[in-house]
Amino acid sequence: MGLSIEGLTVWLGKRTVLDGITAELRPGRVTALLGPNGAGKSSLLRAMLALIAVESGRVLLDGCDVTALDPRTRARWLGYLPQSAELAWNIPARSLVELGRAPHRSPFAGLDETDRAAIERAMALTDTVRFADRLTHELSGGERARVLLARVLAGEPDWLLADEPLASLDPAHQLDMLGRLHGFAAEGRGVVVVLHDLSHAARIADDVLLLSEGRLVAFGPAADVLEPERLEQVYGVGFERVGDVLVPTPPRNGEGDRAR
Ligand SMILES: Nc1ncnc2c1ncn2[C@@H]1O[C@H](COP(=O)(O)OP(=O)(O)OP(=O)(O)O)[C@@H](O)[C@H]1O
């Protein structure tokens, strides 16, 4: 199930936050969404989920405009892991994960065997079984982030759109999360993930979509896009490769202004 972004322009307030973005995202691959703060990464994810209105252009999922899909179908096809791990509901972690099955069943139906198997699998994958009975407000930020991932995985979406999923995780769980995202794509599903750490992107991404000020700077295989000179132009700091890791270095001219 391919995900095509065609000439997407989004205005928020009076600002153009996305300006004519076009990219053909492929399932079975991890696409990292990169760019400085305010580049439009979250807005692009939200537009792909039909959570914000677009001014022009469209997003096609398996050839269907996402805005024309009924919400349950959209939720079955597109799983969303938002940036904030804040939760309104203080319910046991397992109950939260169970909510991930909602798009698969009618509102008042109980969980069936398929639902229970998907929930157990998602909780095992995210290492959340051991706090399944604890209330979500009593979990640490990282534990809550993993429960939220479990909720999305329980829905078995065709695409997973994750906004900075590593933000509150310790290094072990960051690597684990990267492995999960990679494994999800290896099953033939699609992954779009917003990342700030370019080393993580270099490690996990098959493709990179690089944004700056709402415009597409580059889209293509990670090895081609993650080019130190291009990154320096976009981020305003230098990058050098240390082994397979991209390490930021201070701006060469010492001024820190972005070359635009
Ligand atoms: N509701 C809104 N109304 C007006 N402008 C907004 C709104 N939400 C976001 N913006 C602006 O849109 C631009 C893109 O924001 P967005 O959150 O998509 O960027 P981002 O690349 O995800 O940033 P970050 O890395 O800081 O999370 C920013 O300039 C932001 O200030």
Q: How far is the CA of 219 from the centre of ligand 1 (A)?
A: 20
pLDDT the model gives residue 108: 77
Q: Which of 9, 41, 45, 54 most suits a substitution to test ligand 1, by most atoms within 8 Å of the C-beta?
A: 41
Angstrom CA distances, 191 to 33, 163, 185, 210, stand at 10, 11, 6, 15
Q: Which of 21, 42, 54, 217 most suits a substitution to test ligand 1, by most atoms within 8 Å of the C-beta?
A: 42
Coil, helix or strand at residue 202: helix
DSSP-derived secondary structure letter, 36: S
Count CB-CB contacts under 10 A for residue 59.
22
Q: How far is the CA of 77 from the centre of ligand 1 (A)?
A: 25
Which residue has its alpha carbon closest to ligand 1 atom 17?
42
pLDDT the model gives residue 252: 58
Which residue has its alpha carbon closest to ligand 1 atom 31?
38
Residue bearing tokens 């677009």: 54
pLDDT the model gives residue 169: 84
pLDDT the model gives residue 253: 57
Count CB-CB contacts under 10 A for residue 64.
15
Q: How far is the CA of 44 from the centre of ligand 1 (A)?
A: 10
Coil, helix or strand at residue 211: strand
**214 CA: nearest ligand 1 atom:** 14
Structure ipTM: 0.97
Which residue has its alpha carbon closest to ligand 1 atom 29?
38
Which residue has its alpha carbon closest to ligand 1 atom 18?
40
Which residue has its alpha carbon closest to ligand 1 atom 30?
38
pLDDT tens, the chain, 260 aa long:
899 999 999 999 889 999 999 999 999 999 999 999 999 999 999 999 999 999 999 999 999 999 999 999 999 999 999 887 677 789 999 999 999 998 888 777 788 899 999 999 999 988 899 999 999 999 988 888 889 999 999 999 999 999 998 887 888 888 888 988 998 899 999 999 999 999 899 889 999 999 999 999 999 999 999 988 899 999 988 888 777 777 888 765 555 444 44
Q: Which of 8, 11, 15, 45 most suits a substitution to test ligand 1, by most atoms within 8 Å of the C-beta?
A: 15
* H or E segment to which residue 31 belongs: strand 30-34
Ordered by where they begin, the domains of the chain are 3-225 (3.40.50.300), 227-260 (no CATH)
Q: Residues lining ligand 1, judged by CB closer than 6 Å? A: 12-13, 15, 17, 35, 37-43
pLDDT the model gives residue 240: 82
DSSP-derived secondary structure letter, 68: G
**83 CA: nearest ligand 1 atom:** 27
Which residue has its alpha carbon closest to ligand 1 atom 16?
40
Residue bearing tokens 């494994």: 183
pLDDT the model gives residue 258: 46
Nearest to 211 by CA among 43, 12, 25: 43
